[in-house]
Chains A and B, each alone.
Chain A
């Protein structure tokens, strides 16, 4: 526990140091990123015990805040999420040190302060076991990330995104406050003791879990609570997007899992419900991802999709636990945790790549990119690797992570009674569908950005970015490859946590990983053999370079290439109208001698437009009607007061009688 405490301390002090002493970008980065790296190293040292030997570290001390106490517990579940945090934070900080250098700011230390505070508050969230402490750290996390999201606040869309994020986060936190308050009322204290069990909760277990699901689900980005994600993640600087997508939304998942542990074993119906929510989130997220024209928005929707996949695993776990099947429970929870780790790695990699693209080409609009693989070979290769990983192509870590989820669903479909069977079936079908849609999304992302010919001057002028922006990608890519070739490493890391959630040892998880651990290297070996054979063959053949042939139909202009939206047009045409929400800005040619016109199409979010914006509008209209009362006449206001007092007096009189 001392290691964790010193990690947090290092982060906070480093952040403050960056704010106070960081007068130039270099100084600020040295303080801020240095603190992040140091803190993460210290934190990583604390993890092997809980992860591998399932030990639990506790620290309890009183706190002057009413109802609060500083109760910190590091158990395997927290350790898994801390692992993701402490791996991603230093790498993102390393990237950020070079990334932020191009921004002219008067106080370069402030972004680093908030970055370190963000990491520190995430750490506290993951080990806090007192409701008040948890909420304080949660709020700190939200605020720190808000200030990071609005880093480029000179742009209107960034300000708007920050506002959306703040409102959404606090709506979710409101539900969490209700949850903790109700739980404390039932159990008598805000401390999370070991699971009080269903008996103490006296029938409110379902409502409590629903509250927790909404509150944590807002942070995790579950549909329909996801509308802030596609606004906030693209607005933040890339290294912050990495932390937000890789770790911060994972705290939402952590909260759901902790709620499961706190509220005791949930009935199978909840498992089914979670699978349904996960399926909807995954499919909707993937659908919207493939419709986006902005690279970072695509990645943000992909995060929504991946959280849906994680929820599918959790649902399978709950289902298995409810029906007493240890294998399904272990596989389900293990898959969810594995996917959290894997997602941190490959989503981090992808967001960093996107940041490099923005730096090099000046834009993230896929319709303005292209041909970057020639100009930024290192970044391109890493981005393609990350895309392959997130699509779950073997032999990378995405496949190793989704494999146990599939197994859980298949077992459920084969072994469980009818209620569970449908859950398993839905899980497999949903996972397959989101996988297929994700393939389209990332083929589009990688293909449009890096392959083909440049579609704009910015893309044409792009050059490979500085080493400080490429090397972090190598680290994350290495992680993806490692967990793909040696999936038992990942399974090892999460088995203790999965066991604590399933109530049984996670042997099926380890078995599955071991099998893959044999097959994946064989596949790699075959591929490598193929590459070598081809190289040998081609050495003895004549090779030439020419223009693209394309059956003689090639057009000389890069503009004739398929654009991002036209590539997926056949698919988006099939999307039901209810989910469609496009926004078009048209400036039509006008006059007798028109100079030109302009059309700009954006893919909106149907939930944001039809659900949230519509209801906020209706709320505002109702409030406008109430404005009749506000006419500005002082005398009437006095009469209001007087009348209210009179009514109160009469009521009191009536009661006294």
Chain B
């Protein structure tokens, strides 16, 4: 189990880097869906997992929402807006990937210094922080609104992993609540993207500065 978990977590980090490197929006969305599935599976592979109707149900719901529902919503959004690719980002793609890698390494070093969790356990904490940082980088360095949403989702995944690493056992309603919040957030952001597109004829978030006082 331990090895499988490590592979999964490594996969998460790789997906991060992949998202940072691509400029095709559909790929990005699919990647975040894959990441959602991986993240959903991760708790099941961790030590201390107990099979039961409720945990399994939670798992299924999480995978469904993060892995399929949200990417579907995002795909719909970009289809309505007829966008395909990311436009000239603030930070080039290669540079992004490199920076992402550096940040992930730094995350590992950082996690080692944290005064929590066993060093020999599954590397939830470092991967969580790395995912968080990757998500932030995605949001900061890109211009399209869709990428911002994707970055937000990635950050959420990172936080989830981090929480897993701390042994945070959330009661079911709270987990459902968080998922619901995510869903609503994506929904609302979809609407916002539609309006941004309609107003500026483009999804570039940098155009929002025109609205400033």
Asked whether B136 lies within 8 Å of A632 as measured between CB atoms, the reply is no
Chain B interface residue number, banded: 10 to 19
Q: Which residues of A have CB within 8 Å of B90?
A: 635
User: Which has the most chain B C-beta neighbours within 10 Å: A627, A634, A642, A653?
Assistant: A634
Tell whether A653 pairs with B113 under 8 Å between CB atoms, given A635-B139, A635-B205. Answer: yes
Within B46-78, which residues are at the interface with A (CB < 8 Å)? none
Chain A residues with CB under 8 Å of chain B are 627, 630-635, 638-639, 642, 653, 656
Q: Which residues of B have CB within 8 Å of A638?
A: 136, 139-140
Q: Which of B113, B139, B209 contacts A632 (CB 8 A)?
A: B209
Q: Using A630-B212, A634-B208 as known contacts, list a sample of 5 further A-B pairs with CB atoms less than 8 Å apart, ordered by residue number in A.
A: A627-B213, A633-B206, A633-B209, A634-B205, A635-B139
* Majority-rule SS of B interface residues: helix
Q: Which residues of B have CB within 8 Å of A631?
A: 209, 212
User: How many angstroms from the CA of A629 to the CA of B76 in the assembled complex?
Assistant: 35
Check B141 for interface membership: any CB of A closer than 8 A. Answer: yes
Q: Which residues of B have CB within 8 Å of A656?
A: 115
Q: Could you list some 17 contacts between A and B, CB below 8 A?
A: A627-B213, A630-B212, A631-B212, A632-B208, A632-B209, A633-B206, A633-B208, A633-B209, A634-B148, A634-B205, A634-B208, A635-B90, A635-B205, A638-B139, A638-B140, A642-B136, A653-B113
Tell whether A642 pairs with B140 under 8 Å between CB atoms, given A634-B148, A634-B205, A635-B205. Answer: yes
B55 to chain A, nearest CB (A): 32
Check B211 for interface membership: any CB of A closer than 8 A. Answer: yes
Q: Which residues of A have CB within 8 Å of B139?
A: 635, 638
Asked whether A635 lies within 8 Å of B141 as measured between CB atoms, the reply is yes
User: How many angstroms from the CA of A653 to the CA of B111 in the assembled complex?
Assistant: 12
Mark contacts of B102-140 with chain A using CB atoms, 8 A cut-off: 1 yes-contact digit, 0 otherwise.
Answer: 000000000001010000000000000000000010011
User: How many angstroms from the CA of A88 to the CA of B23 in the assembled complex?
Assistant: 79
Chain B residues with CB under 8 Å of chain A are 90, 113, 115, 136, 139-141, 148, 205-206, 208-213
* 8 tightest Cβ-Cβ pairs between the two chains A and B: A632-B212, A632-B209, A635-B140, A634-B205, A638-B140, A638-B139, A639-B140, A633-B209
Q: Which residue of A lies closest to B136 (CB)?
A: A642
Q: Which residue of B lies closest to A639 (CB)?
A: B140
Q: Which residue of B lies closest to A627 (CB)?
A: B213
Q: Which residues of B have CB within 8 Å of A639?
A: 140
B38 to chain A, nearest CB (A): 25
Q: Which residues of A have CB within 8 Å of B141?
A: 635
User: How many angstroms from the CA of A631 to the CA of B210 in the assembled complex?
Assistant: 9
B202 to chain A, nearest CB (A): 15
User: How many angstroms from the CA of A638 to the CA of B211 in the assembled complex?
Assistant: 18
User: How many angstroms from the CA of A638 to the CA of B141 in the assembled complex?
Assistant: 10
User: How many angstroms from the CA of A653 to the CA of B110 in the assembled complex?
Assistant: 10
Tell whether A632 pairs with B211 under 8 Å between CB atoms, given A653-B113, A656-B115. Answer: yes
User: How many angstroms from the CA of A632 to the CA of B211 in the assembled complex?
Assistant: 8
Q: Which residue of A lies closest to B145 (CB)?
A: A634
User: Which has the most chain B C-beta neighbours within 10 Å: A627, A630, A633, A656?
Assistant: A633
Q: Which residue of B lies closest to A649 (CB)?
A: B110
User: How many angstroms from the CA of A642 to the CA of B132 in the assembled complex?
Assistant: 11
Q: Which residues of B have CB within 8 Å of A632?
A: 208-212
Q: Which residue of A lies closest to B139 (CB)?
A: A638
Q: Which residues of B have CB within 8 Å of A653?
A: 113
Q: Which residues of A have CB within 8 Å of B136?
A: 638, 642
Q: Which residues of B have CB within 8 Å of A634?
A: 148, 205, 208
Q: Which residues of A have CB within 8 Å of B140?
A: 635, 638-639, 642
Q: Which residue of A lies closest to B205 (CB)?
A: A634
A625 to chain B, nearest CB (A): 15
Q: Which residues of B have CB within 8 Å of A633?
A: 206, 208-209
Q: Which residue of B lies closest to A641 (CB)?
A: B136
Q: Which residues of B have CB within 8 Å of A635?
A: 90, 139-141, 205-206
Q: Which residue of A lies closest to B209 (CB)?
A: A632
User: How many angstroms from the CA of A633 to the CA of B139 in the assembled complex?
Assistant: 12
Q: Which residues of B have CB within 8 Å of A627?
A: 213
Q: Which residues of A have CB within 8 Å of B115?
A: 656
B54 to chain A, nearest CB (A): 34
User: How many angstroms from the CA of A633 to the CA of B136 in the assembled complex?
Assistant: 15
User: How many angstroms from the CA of A639 to the CA of B141 in the assembled complex?
Assistant: 10
